[in-house]
A and B are shown apart, each in its own frame.
Chain A
Amino acid sequence: MTRSIGINLALLAAIVAAMLLSLIAGKVWIPLDAWLHADPRWPIIAELRLPRTVLAALVGASLGLSGAAMQGYLRNPLADPGLFGVSSGAALGAVISLYFGYAAAPWLLPVFALAGAAITMALLALLVGRSGSIIVFTLAGVILSSVAVSMTSLAISLAPTPFATSQIVTWLMGALTDRSWDDVRLALPLMALGCLLLAFTGRSLDVLTLGESAARSMGVDPRRLQLLIVIGVALCVGASVATAGIIGFVGLIVPHLVRPFVGNRPSAVLLPSALAGALLLLLADSLVRAMPTVSELRLGIAMSMLGGPFFLLLLLRMRRRLA
């Protein structure tokens, strides 16, 4: 207990440091003394880097928490918040807005993405029905996810102009470039609500460790739990995709990174996963900005490049344990 408080405080301190780094780092390095007196570079910080930094922390926390909750709920360390289709649904919504060239109005894309997430969530609830069954839930998620992905590919191949195609493809890679306070205002309330709902699942997830029958006999309502998970993850992931595109692996990796420190109990993993997710994305976003590439490396690509080797490590460790 005291140990996990210590870990959380350490993570919080690291987040503050990473946020400072994120404000300083970039193509233009702005040292801290620029903050003290009037400096022409101040608008870069206030209007570009500050919202971007806040957004990186919000998206990272949402994805990390969603991942931890999904892994706890499905009792599978390889589960990912993308698994149940909401992120592909949100991406499809965004792609449709790009397809029709609506991206001119900056608020339309996130609204379309949120609509996509909401529709996927409703379909998921419809498919799962009142069973509360985890297997049906997983299958329905996989089906919805693959349908949304195939529709996205269709939109790419039928795109009216090469410009639209490249816009869609680039957007799908996920990034936090050119984000403003508008995006923060859109995402913050949705993510806060989503995280709150997920925070309430902690103790039920713990009990689910004993299997579904035992959990039910102990008073866990499987339908209520499923509803909390579906809506919580949909809000978190939907808002993340709407503001940053698809950034994979965060939800998958982060719970694994914190478990060695806080143990395997699902509720103990939730808060540190949110914090570690924020930290990871802040660092990754600072990294892609500071890289000496001509055009900025997309954050989504950077995360997948980290994710692949991580998966490999995980596999090797599992193999060693099984041997």
Chain B
Amino acid sequence: MNMLAVDGLTLNRGSRRVLDDISAVFTPGRVTALLGPNGAGKSTLLACLAGLLSPDKGQVLVGGQPRQSLAMRDLARQIGLLPQGGDVHWDVDAATLVALGRYPHRAGWGETPEDRAVVARAMAATDVTRFAARPMTALSGGERARVLLARVLAGEPQWLLADEPLANLDPAHQLETLACLRDVARAGAGVIVVLHDLNHAVQVADQVLLLRDGRTVAQGACSEVMTPQRIAETFGVASQFGTTPGGVPFIVTLPMVRRG
């Protein structure tokens, strides 16, 4: 089976240990949420998975093979990264930007009809088709974020890694983006997403990897990992779990009550 896994991943930055012996297996067709407080190593783990950082110890396995044994281009075809922040340095139109996502697949000059079809599908999936001709600077923050997500989807990755894709989005667009990530997983790709809002995590994730100070606190099925006790241990907040009448789980976080 096509798996993405990390085995004993350890990474130091200067004297600080950013990742400490992380092992995890990610499954295609599932959404895995990486959760943890600021500085827990979530983005670093994502960067290792995407091949941007090389670990000091341990390795990343793509389809059972060590990452280093794969050519950059092959890796790029399998793994799509949506970095945090979403830089767009030149003011190009949305369709041009999404078409950049075909880069790992293209050989030679010009686009093939297949390229165009994939780009059109990616733009439809994130509902940005009507912005195709608009320059990126003329889009709102939410529209921009969706165009950038479409860029990653245009690469048809088997693994979608997204670093806080919901930052700067209004509630409606946050939900839309989450639904889009779900759809990507349903279509068979593995989705690994860094989230900050625990509610988003319980709504979208099948699996959760809880990190704190570069170490794994817990990992496994979302319903098993997400308990008030673990949340207290990881984030230092109390929490109350509930379910809406429609069956959607939610978490309310509260300050810790100090006893004594």
* Chain B residues within an 8 Å CB radius of A207: 100, 103
For B148, give the chain A residue with the smallest CB separation: A210
Q: How far is the CB of B156 from chain A (nearest CB, A)?
A: 12
Name the CB-closest residue of B to A76: B89
A246 CA to B162 CA in the complex, in Å?
A: 47
Comparing B59-67, B90-98, B138-146, the segment that makes contact with chain A is B90-98
Which range contains the number of B residues in contact with the other chain?
20 to 34
Return the chain B residue nearest A71 by Cβ.
B90
Contact across chains for B87 and A263 when beta carbons are under 8 A apart: no
Residues of B within 8 A of A213 (CB): 47, 50, 52, 81, 83
A211-B87 CB under 8 A given contacts A219-B76, A263-B92: yes
Which residues on B sit within 8 Å (CB–CB) of A221? 72
- Counting chain A residues whose Cβ lies within 8 A of the other chain, the interface size class is 20 to 34
Interface centre among A203, A207, A209, A219 (most CB of B within 10 A): A219
Among B52, B96, B148, point to the contact of A216 (Cβ < 8 A): B52
B83 touches A217 (CB 8 A): yes
Inside 8 A of A266's CB, which chain B residues have their CB? 90
Query: Contacts A75-B89, A263-B92, A265-B96; is A217 near B81 (CB within 8 Å)?
Result: yes
Asked, given contacts A217-B80, A217-B81, whether A209 binds B90 with beta carbons under 8 Å apart, the answer is yes
User: B53-91 interface mask toward A, CB cutoff 8 Å, 1 = contact, 0 = none?
Assistant: 000000000000000000011011101111101011111
Question: B interface vs A, CB < 8 Å?
Answer: 47, 50-52, 72-73, 75-77, 79-83, 85, 87-93, 96-97, 100-101, 103-104, 106, 148, 151, 155
Known contacts A209-B90, A217-B52, A220-B103; 6 further A-B pairs (Cβ under 8 A): A72-B90, A209-B89, A210-B89, A211-B85, A217-B51, A265-B90
Instruction: In the A-B complex, list the 8 residue pairs whose CB atoms are closest, starting with the nearest.
Output: A219-B76, A211-B87, A217-B81, A75-B89, A264-B90, A219-B73, A213-B83, A217-B50
A–B pairs, 12, beta carbons within 8 Å = A75-B89, A209-B88, A209-B89, A210-B97, A217-B80, A218-B76, A218-B101, A219-B73, A219-B75, A263-B96, A264-B91, A266-B90
Interface residues of A (CB under 8 A from B): 72, 75, 203, 206-211, 213-214, 216-221, 263-266
